[in-house]
Structure 1
Amino acid sequence: MKSLLITIIFTLSSFLSQAKLLLPSFFSNHMVLQRKSEVAFFGTSDVSQTIKVFPSWLTDTIKVRTDACGKWKTALKTPAAGGPYTITVIDVDSKIILEDILIGEVWLCSGQSNMGWSSVEKHQEILDELPTINNPQIRVLQMTRYASEIPQNDIRSTWKTANPESVKGFSSIAYFIAKKLQKELNVPVGVINASWGGTAAEVWTPEEVIKNSPTLSMYAALQREAPSRPHLPGRLWNTMIHPLINYKIAGAYWYQGESNVSTWQGYAPLFSAMINSWRQAWGYEFPFYYVQIAPFDYKTGNANRSAFLREQQAKVLSLPKTGMVVVTDQVTDVKNIHPEKKIEVANRLA
């Protein structure tokens, strides 16, 4: 027994003394970094190590020491736009080289199924577009859909260059936003798709924000459990938003609200609290643009409630740096909760 304990201790000590140089998965080949900014860049290694960072657009080498937990963090100044660049990261034993990095605009796209609607759902506009997609100045990052009770610090996916394969299953609206921004700004654009169909705004809001408000807690308790989606507060904030809070973004786009129609009375304070919590987590007041939900024949007594929810969405315009897109004129079939005209929605958002 004693010899087994010694072996375990020795093995654990060896493992800890040989900690690998690691970066979060969103620091990957093909990524886009926000332009004209100081972007956080960080990772882990062994304790008391000197980490050297060589961004190819800078002339100086950046040096930073790991802390007692092996964590390190620095800031990289980014130019107006450009690329492709590399970032080389070195510790005493390891080297990581990130390649094909662009510097431009980074936008987070989130919400429920209308934001996530894609070629998988046979959306005709993106199906028509797919064969022609070949723009290396557009990059996409698809957040993996899973939920957790605990905030996560990393993700399960990496950046990809926009092409027919990488955009297959990716948010139509997010792609068309990137296409318009890239053409009009003439800079690289990266879009992150963090969306999940059927989800209420509560799951995208930190749990403590909901719990600290009796009103928000009351309405959150009315969300029903379903096998296809999480319904408890904070579950997708933890996995699909929180890991990104140190990744610099230009702003966010949001398309959601259908799953909060039955509790429309609490939507304005909920949505406002969600936006404020995101901005607080990132540490700056980034622009937040959203879509007012489209008319739909709910056939469950919620027809008027959806109009009330649209009013609630309009109230959130009182927050600074917010904008709302109206799409009522784009609806040709009120029996389809997923309006087909996603290109026009994307163009209005962008």
Structure 2
Amino acid sequence: MDAVTIEPTSASSSRANKAILTIALAQLFGTSLWFSANGAMRELQIAWSLSALDIGLLTNAVQIGFIVGTLISALTGMADKYSAAKLFCYCAITGAIFNALFALFSGGVMSAVILRLGVGISLAGIYPLGMKLLGTWAPQRAAQSLALLVAMLTLGTSSTHAVRAYLPNLDYEMLVLASSALALGASVMVGLLGDGPYTRSRSAGKVELGAVLDVFRIKKFRAAALGYFGHMWELYAFWTLTPLLVLNAFKGISNSPQIIALWSFIVIGVGAVGCVIGGRLSQYVGSGYTALAALSLSGAMCLLYPFVSQMSTEIQLSVLLIWGLAVIADSPQFSALSVQACPPDQVGGGTNNSK
């Protein structure tokens, strides 16, 4: 049976607010693993004599791992069979371990790629499960909470650059280990919180693998998913290249690692504001139009950048800030559109057939 409907009271509302804040902070800490290596890329490039191809492999390993992890979750129905809070905890701990092994024992590209792949697989149990966990605490506020969650993902992604900016002499091993410590903190926070009162009954039946693929027959879901796919290509390309784009903006003025790291944090982190603005805008014009506006603005900055890349530092930084604001703002809206188009019993992971 489904969870019992609970009448909202001031006490339950206050508890839900605390839960949303806890999950959001845990998301921030947990997703710091995502680009933990990028903040140390300069040191790794020198220490390991990395080529452009090597840097691409190291960065894409996390994204590939995330895709593999989400496919495993969807095809096995793990998110429907087990506690979202427990899965989040286990994945945060696993991600922290893979990340720490990368910092302490990786001595070259191949070992680094394997360990970063493990980090990516683990992140598939942090970001999506954080969304599912929110639904167990405040399903009636899903759209607003989702925007907050993606905002925390954005800050978590940029956190390594912030640490590098304020601790420029910190060894890259310690920089990466700091992300592992944050991920362990996220595990403790969610472990103490647990699942919310709106948790659906878990399916113990056989997983129907075809049900996952059947979702793509739904036109609206397919449109949202493909739009999300294109958005993610641009998003992670931009976030990966941000330090290089910032370095280009300061060419001839400064190449201080501290300044580059600080502005990389600002350019990526401003996306959190974009998520909040997008969340508010969607209440008036809907998620579809909000996603279209953000994607159009981001695409326009992408097309404009080559023409301003040799202009003044101020102009380049202005374009990068607008780009950073818009590039992630459509992400929660695509998620919301996907949830709206997807059958309720298949939201959050696999194929929950419970009635």
Q: Which has the higher helix share?
A: 2
Q: Which has the higher contact order (CA 8 A, sep 6+)?
A: 2
Instruction: Tell me the TM-score normalized by structure 2.
Output: 0.25
Q: Which has the larger radius of gyration?
A: 1
